[in-house]
Amino acid sequence: MVSDAEIYARIGEDGFARLVAAFYAQVPPDDILGPMYPADDLAGAELRLRDFLVGRFGGPPRYEESRGHPRLRMRHHPYKLDQGARDRWVQLMDRALDQAALPGDVTLFLREFFHGTATFLINSRA
């Protein structure tokens, strides 16, 4: 069994960097997610997600140092996050996980984490 804290030791900065880059490469052309993300600060958005994941999974706490407590539901409040947006986000992240080619058990663990967290963030029925 993989544990949260051990993932950073397994895949390092490089693993998270490749995963998040593969996710964000798909965002701008996406009809649902593209318009939601800041076109003039995609690099910043990429950095925020990467630093969050690094800290969440046992690496340096850069996200909390620069942004404070994650409060993910509150931070997603400005966006209409319905089932369709959730499913699309998960679809892009699943594809990014395939492309990043991390070890199988880590991929499985992160996939479940993303699916569950994305469901938890739904804030709109339609």
* Nearest-approach distance from CB 6 to ligand HEM, in angstroms: 18
Site string for ligand HEM, 89-108 (x = CB under 6 A): x-------------------
* Nearest-approach distance from CB 5 to ligand HEM, in angstroms: 16
**CA of 86: how far to CAs of 11, 69, 70, 91, 123, in Å?**
26, 22, 19, 9, 10
Contact assessment for residue 124 and residue 81, using Cβ atoms and an 8 Å cutoff: yes
Three-state secondary structure string covering 33-87: CHHHCCHHHHHHHHHHHHHHHHHHCCCCCHHHHHHCCCCHHHHCCCCCCCHHHHH
Residue with Cβ nearer ligand HEM (2 or 49): 49
Helix (H) or strand (E) holding 125, with range, is none
- How far from the centroid of its chain's Cα atoms is residue 104's Cα? 18
Asked if 67 is part of the footprint of ligand HEM (rule: CB under 6 A), the reply reads yes
Contact assessment for residue 8 and residue 102, using Cβ atoms and an 8 Å cutoff: no
Asked if 18 is part of the footprint of ligand HEM (rule: CB under 6 A), the reply reads no
Site string for ligand HEM, 38-57 (x = CB under 6 A): x--x---x--xx--x-----
Asked if 20 is part of the footprint of ligand HEM (rule: CB under 6 A), the reply reads no
Contacts with ligand HEM, residue ranges (CB under 6 A): 33, 36-38, 41, 45, 48-49, 52, 67, 70, 72, 75-76, 79, 81, 85-86, 89, 114, 117-118, 121
